[in-house]
Amino acid sequence: MTDLSAIFGGLVRHHVAQAGCQDYLQTRPGIDWLWGANGVFKRGRSELLELQGRACHLDYAVPGLASLIEYVRFLAWPHRLPGELLAPLLRDAQQAGSAGPIARPIEKQYFFVERDGIRVVAPRGQDASAVHLRYTMPAAGTPLLDLHSHHAMRAYFSSTDDRDDQGLSVSAVIGDIFQRPEIVVRLNIYGLHCPIPAAMVFDSLGPFMDQWGGGDDDRADD
Protein backbone atom coordinates (compact mmCIF):
# COMPACT_ATOMS: atom_id res chain seq x y z
CA MET A 1 0.00 0.00 0.00
CA THR A 2 1.25 3.47 -0.90
CA ASP A 3 2.15 5.64 2.08
CA LEU A 4 0.13 8.79 1.25
CA SER A 5 1.52 10.67 4.24
CA ALA A 6 5.02 10.21 2.83
CA ILE A 7 3.92 11.38 -0.61
CA PHE A 8 2.15 14.50 0.60
CA GLY A 9 4.74 15.11 3.27
CA GLY A 10 7.34 15.44 0.54
CA LEU A 11 5.34 18.28 -1.01
CA VAL A 12 5.46 20.41 2.15
CA ARG A 13 8.78 21.87 3.28
CA HIS A 14 9.85 24.19 6.11
CA HIS A 15 12.65 26.75 6.06
CA VAL A 16 14.28 29.24 8.37
CA ALA A 17 15.22 32.15 6.10
CA GLN A 18 18.65 32.83 7.53
CA ALA A 19 20.41 35.96 6.28
CA GLY A 20 23.22 35.04 3.91
CA CYS A 21 21.80 31.59 3.21
CA GLN A 22 20.15 30.93 -0.15
CA ASP A 23 18.60 27.52 0.51
CA TYR A 24 15.12 28.93 1.18
CA LEU A 25 15.13 30.62 -2.25
CA GLN A 26 15.15 27.29 -4.09
CA THR A 27 11.64 26.49 -5.29
CA ARG A 28 9.99 23.22 -6.24
CA PRO A 29 6.37 22.20 -6.86
CA GLY A 30 4.46 22.02 -3.60
CA ILE A 31 4.30 24.18 -0.49
CA ASP A 32 7.08 25.92 1.42
CA TRP A 33 6.64 27.50 4.84
CA LEU A 34 9.26 30.17 5.55
CA TRP A 35 10.12 31.83 8.86
CA GLY A 36 11.58 35.25 8.12
CA ALA A 37 12.52 38.34 10.11
CA ASN A 38 9.13 39.96 9.39
CA GLY A 39 6.76 37.01 9.66
CA VAL A 40 5.83 33.54 8.51
CA PHE A 41 5.26 33.18 4.77
CA LYS A 42 3.68 30.48 2.65
CA ARG A 43 4.92 29.76 -0.87
CA GLY A 44 3.18 27.59 -3.41
CA ARG A 45 4.36 26.49 -6.82
CA SER A 46 2.63 24.62 -9.65
CA GLU A 47 3.33 24.27 -13.35
CA LEU A 48 1.56 27.63 -13.89
CA LEU A 49 2.24 29.83 -10.87
CA GLU A 50 4.61 30.61 -8.05
CA LEU A 51 3.08 32.67 -5.26
CA GLN A 52 4.37 33.79 -1.88
CA GLY A 53 2.18 35.43 0.75
CA ARG A 54 2.47 36.37 4.40
CA ALA A 55 0.61 34.04 6.76
CA CYS A 56 1.30 36.05 9.91
CA HIS A 57 3.24 39.11 11.05
CA LEU A 58 5.85 39.34 13.75
CA ASP A 59 5.71 42.28 16.14
CA TYR A 60 9.49 42.51 16.17
CA ALA A 61 12.31 41.67 13.77
CA VAL A 62 14.19 38.44 14.45
CA PRO A 63 17.98 39.04 14.29
CA GLY A 64 19.82 36.91 11.77
CA LEU A 65 16.82 36.24 9.54
CA ALA A 66 16.08 37.70 6.11
CA SER A 67 13.03 39.88 5.51
CA LEU A 68 10.61 38.31 3.03
CA ILE A 69 8.05 39.76 0.62
CA GLU A 70 4.84 38.74 -1.10
CA TYR A 71 5.25 38.09 -4.81
CA VAL A 72 3.55 36.73 -7.92
CA ARG A 73 5.34 34.84 -10.67
CA PHE A 74 3.41 33.76 -13.75
CA LEU A 75 5.47 30.93 -15.17
CA ALA A 76 3.80 31.24 -18.59
CA TRP A 77 4.13 35.05 -18.76
CA PRO A 78 7.21 37.04 -17.68
CA HIS A 79 5.45 40.38 -17.08
CA ARG A 80 2.61 41.91 -15.13
CA LEU A 81 -0.79 41.69 -16.80
CA PRO A 82 -1.65 44.54 -19.21
CA GLY A 83 -3.87 47.08 -17.48
CA GLU A 84 -5.17 48.29 -20.84
CA LEU A 85 -7.50 45.27 -20.79
CA LEU A 86 -9.32 46.52 -17.69
CA ALA A 87 -11.28 49.37 -19.29
CA PRO A 88 -13.04 47.20 -21.93
CA LEU A 89 -13.65 44.58 -19.23
CA LEU A 90 -15.35 47.25 -17.10
CA ARG A 91 -17.59 48.32 -19.98
CA ASP A 92 -18.62 44.73 -20.57
CA ALA A 93 -19.37 44.20 -16.86
CA GLN A 94 -21.50 47.35 -16.81
CA GLN A 95 -23.64 45.94 -19.62
CA ALA A 96 -24.25 42.59 -17.91
CA GLY A 97 -27.91 42.32 -16.94
CA SER A 98 -30.52 39.73 -16.10
CA ALA A 99 -32.98 38.54 -18.72
CA GLY A 100 -36.60 39.63 -18.43
CA PRO A 101 -38.77 42.71 -18.87
CA ILE A 102 -36.66 44.64 -16.35
CA ALA A 103 -32.92 44.03 -16.72
CA ARG A 104 -31.01 44.14 -13.44
CA PRO A 105 -27.24 44.25 -12.98
CA ILE A 106 -25.64 40.87 -12.39
CA GLU A 107 -22.20 39.53 -11.58
CA LYS A 108 -19.94 38.35 -14.38
CA GLN A 109 -16.85 36.14 -14.46
CA TYR A 110 -13.66 36.72 -16.47
CA PHE A 111 -10.30 35.03 -16.84
CA PHE A 112 -6.99 36.51 -17.93
CA VAL A 113 -5.38 33.78 -20.01
CA GLU A 114 -2.14 33.44 -21.95
CA ARG A 115 -2.97 32.53 -25.53
CA ASP A 116 -0.39 34.05 -27.89
CA GLY A 117 -0.39 37.01 -25.53
CA ILE A 118 -2.76 37.97 -22.74
CA ARG A 119 -6.49 37.82 -23.45
CA VAL A 120 -9.60 38.32 -21.33
CA VAL A 121 -12.10 35.49 -21.62
CA ALA A 122 -15.66 35.48 -20.26
CA PRO A 123 -16.89 31.86 -19.95
CA ARG A 124 -20.03 31.14 -21.91
CA GLY A 125 -23.22 29.95 -20.29
CA GLN A 126 -22.64 31.68 -16.97
CA ASP A 127 -25.36 31.20 -14.34
CA ALA A 128 -25.35 34.60 -12.65
CA SER A 129 -27.53 36.88 -10.56
CA ALA A 130 -26.96 39.95 -8.43
CA VAL A 131 -25.54 37.79 -5.63
CA HIS A 132 -24.21 34.53 -7.08
CA LEU A 133 -22.18 33.22 -10.01
CA ARG A 134 -21.52 29.80 -11.54
CA TYR A 135 -19.35 29.15 -14.57
CA THR A 136 -17.04 26.71 -16.32
CA MET A 137 -13.32 27.15 -16.76
CA PRO A 138 -12.14 28.47 -20.15
CA ALA A 139 -11.44 25.68 -22.64
CA ALA A 140 -8.32 27.21 -24.18
CA GLY A 141 -5.37 29.23 -22.95
CA THR A 142 -3.39 29.18 -19.70
CA PRO A 143 -5.41 30.84 -16.90
CA LEU A 144 -3.36 33.40 -14.98
CA LEU A 145 -5.99 35.32 -13.01
CA ASP A 146 -9.73 35.03 -12.37
CA LEU A 147 -11.86 38.13 -11.86
CA HIS A 148 -15.54 38.65 -11.18
CA SER A 149 -17.69 41.74 -10.91
CA HIS A 150 -19.88 42.87 -8.01
CA HIS A 151 -21.83 45.42 -10.11
CA ALA A 152 -23.03 48.18 -7.71
CA MET A 153 -21.73 46.46 -4.56
CA ARG A 154 -18.28 47.12 -3.14
CA ALA A 155 -15.31 45.01 -4.24
CA TYR A 156 -14.61 42.33 -1.64
CA PHE A 157 -14.05 38.58 -1.33
CA SER A 158 -17.04 36.75 0.09
CA SER A 159 -17.17 33.67 2.30
CA THR A 160 -18.18 31.74 -0.84
CA ASP A 161 -14.98 32.95 -2.53
CA ASP A 162 -13.01 31.78 0.51
CA ARG A 163 -14.53 28.30 0.25
CA ASP A 164 -13.94 28.10 -3.50
CA ASP A 165 -10.39 29.48 -3.57
CA GLN A 166 -8.59 26.59 -1.91
CA GLY A 167 -6.02 25.91 -4.62
CA LEU A 168 -3.16 27.99 -6.02
CA SER A 169 -4.44 31.03 -7.91
CA VAL A 170 -4.61 34.82 -8.21
CA SER A 171 -8.08 36.35 -7.90
CA ALA A 172 -9.60 39.80 -8.29
CA VAL A 173 -13.00 41.36 -7.65
CA ILE A 174 -14.29 44.63 -9.09
CA GLY A 175 -17.14 46.59 -7.55
CA ASP A 176 -19.08 49.87 -7.52
CA ILE A 177 -18.68 49.67 -11.29
CA PHE A 178 -21.27 52.33 -12.16
CA GLN A 179 -20.08 55.10 -9.85
CA ARG A 180 -16.50 54.72 -8.63
CA PRO A 181 -14.98 51.49 -9.94
CA GLU A 182 -12.72 49.71 -7.48
CA ILE A 183 -10.69 46.51 -7.44
CA VAL A 184 -9.19 44.12 -4.90
CA VAL A 185 -6.64 41.38 -5.63
CA ARG A 186 -5.39 38.49 -3.55
CA LEU A 187 -3.19 35.41 -3.66
CA ASN A 188 -4.75 32.04 -2.87
CA ILE A 189 -2.11 29.62 -1.63
CA TYR A 190 -3.74 26.33 -0.69
CA GLY A 191 -6.07 27.79 1.92
CA LEU A 192 -4.17 31.00 2.67
CA HIS A 193 -5.79 34.16 1.29
CA CYS A 194 -3.32 37.05 1.07
CA PRO A 195 -4.50 40.50 -0.15
CA ILE A 196 -1.91 42.31 -2.26
CA PRO A 197 -1.68 45.65 -4.09
CA ALA A 198 -3.25 45.34 -7.54
CA ALA A 199 -0.12 46.94 -9.01
CA MET A 200 1.77 43.74 -8.19
CA VAL A 201 -0.32 42.00 -10.85
CA PHE A 202 -1.32 44.73 -13.34
CA ASP A 203 1.01 47.24 -15.02
CA SER A 204 -1.75 49.89 -14.71
CA LEU A 205 -5.25 49.97 -13.22
CA GLY A 206 -7.04 52.10 -15.81
CA PRO A 207 -10.42 53.20 -14.40
CA PHE A 208 -10.10 51.34 -11.09
CA MET A 209 -9.13 52.38 -7.57
CA ASP A 210 -7.22 49.79 -5.57
CA GLN A 211 -8.94 48.96 -2.26
CA TRP A 212 -5.91 47.16 -0.81
CA GLY A 213 -5.03 48.63 2.57
CA GLY A 214 -8.42 50.19 3.17
CA GLY A 215 -8.99 52.01 -0.08
CA ASP A 216 -6.73 55.01 0.47
CA ASP A 217 -4.86 54.43 -2.79
CA ASP A 218 -5.36 57.00 -5.52
CA ARG A 219 -7.27 56.05 -8.64
CA ALA A 220 -4.85 54.92 -11.32
CA ASP A 221 -4.40 56.92 -14.49
CA ASP A 222 -5.71 55.60 -17.80
Q: Are residues 56 and 87 in the same domain?
A: no
- Same-domain check for residues 162 and 101: yes
pLDDT value at position 127? 52
The answer, yes or no, to whether residue 216 has pLDDT greater than 60, is no
pLDDT score for 219: 41
The yes-or-no verdict on residue 33 having pLDDT over 90 is yes
Cα 163 to Cα 127: distance, rounded to the nearest angstrom? 18
Residue 216 lies inside a defined structural domain of this protein: no
Single residue among 69, 98, 114 that ends a domain in this structure: 69
Whole-angstrom Cα distance, residue 101 to residue 112? 32
CA distance 23 to 148: 38
The answer to the question of residue 217 being in a domain is: no
Mean pLDDT of all residues belonging to the chain? 84
Q: What is the pLDDT of residues 79-138, one digit of tens each?
A: 999 999 999 999 999 987 544 444 566 788 899 999 899 999 888 765 544 455 555 666
- Distance of alpha carbon 205 from alpha carbon 113, whole angstroms: 18
High-pLDDT (> 70) share of the chain, %: 80
In this structure, is residue 219 part of a structural domain? Answer: no
Tell me the residue range of the domain where 200 lies: 83-210
Given a cut of 80, is residue 221 above it in pLDDT? Answer: no
The rounded percent of the chain whose pLDDT value lies above 90 is 59
On the question of pLDDT at 2 being above 90, the answer is no
For residue 56, which of 70, 45, 46 has the smallest C-alpha distance? 70
Do 88 and 180 lie in a common domain?
A: yes
- Look up the CATH number of the domain holding residue 196: 3.40.140
32 within some domain: yes
pLDDT category of residue 21 using cuts at 50, 70 and 90:
confident
Higher pLDDT, 137 or 54: 54
Length of the chain: 222
Model confidence band, residue 60 (pLDDT cutoffs 50, 70, 90): confident
Q: Decide which of 163 and 96 is more confident.
A: 163
Helix, strand, or coil (residue 156): coil
Instruction: Tell me how many domains the chain contains.
Output: 2
Last residue of a domain, one of 69, 96, 116: 69
Same domain, 62 and 91: no
In a domain, 33, yes or no: yes
Q: Do 34 and 100 have their domain in common? A: no
Q: Are residues 87 and 30 in the same domain?
A: no
Considering the domain architecture, whether residues 46 and 145 belong to the same structural domain is answered as: no
Residue 135 resides in a domain: yes
> Is there a single domain that holds both residue 197 and residue 111?
yes
Q: Is there a domain that residue 78 lies in?
A: no
What is the C-alpha to C-alpha distance for residues 206 and 192, in angstroms, rounded to an integer? 28
What pLDDT is stored for residue 8 in this prediction? 55
Residue with the larger pLDDT of the pair 152 and 2: 152
Integer angstrom CA distances of residue 208 from 34, 166, 167, 215: 33, 26, 27, 11
Task: Report pTM.
Answer: 0.84
123 with 197, same domain: the answer is yes
88 and 60 within one domain: no
Indicate whether 106 belongs to any domain: yes
- Asked if 65 and 89 sit in the same domain, the reply is no
Better-predicted residue by pLDDT, 7 or 166:
166
